[in-house]
Amino acid sequence: NAGVTQTPKFRILKIGQSMTLQCTQDMNHNYMYWYRQDPGMGLKLIYYSVGAGITDKGEVPNGYNVSRSTTEDFPLRLELAAPSQTSVYFCASSYGSGGLETQYFGPGTRLLVL
């Protein structure tokens, strides 16, 4: 199993550009998550999904959109990139719904908005 994969690994965007961060998991997990990690801060939840077709906002959803058309994929869309979105983005997945299950993280996407 590849686990959780993310692409790209690194990207530079200009202000106002859009892009999609890709996330795929091959563990048949129901739950998927997008986090951002800023220096000196904990992981902040952007969006999450409890299954195909179902998504919900996390702690910091503004400026982002997600979709979940399949169990495997959970792309994160930035429509109008802003410098405040410079961060490292992590996708994660877990099997169960109770929150006790381990989250498996992808390797991260480093995004720089200039």
Partner 1 sequence: ILNVEQSPQSLHVQEGDSTNFTCSFPSSNFYALHWYRWETAKSPEALFVMTLNGDEKKKGRISATLNTKEGYSYLYIKGSQPEDSATYLCAFLSNDYKLSFGAGTTVTVRA
The residue from 16, 53, 83, 107 that contacts partner 1 (CB under 8 A) is: 107
90 contributes a contact to partner 1 by CB under 8 A: yes
Record the tokens describing residue 19, joined without a space: 């892009």
100 contributes a contact to partner 1 by CB under 8 A: yes
- Of 13-21, 69-77, 79-87, 95-103, the window that binds partner 1 (rule: CB under 8 A) is 95-103
Q: Is 45 exposed, middle or buried (0-12, 13-18, 19+ CB in 10 A)?
A: middle
* CB-CB contact of 91 with 2 (8 Å): no
CB neighbour burial string for 77-86, b if at least 16 within 10 angstroms, e if fewer = ebeebeeebb
The residue from 19, 43, 52, 88 that contacts partner 1 (CB under 8 A) is: 43
The alpha carbon of residue 113 and the mean position of all alpha carbons in its chain are separated, in whole angstroms, by 17
Closest CA to 66 of 44, 50, 46, 51: 46
105 contributes a contact to partner 1 by CB under 8 A: yes
Please report how close the Cβ of residue 6 comes to partner 1 at its closest, in angstroms: 9
The residue from 28, 102, 112, 114 that contacts partner 1 (CB under 8 A) is: 102
Interface with partner 1 (CB under 8 A): 4, 35, 40-45, 59, 90, 98-108
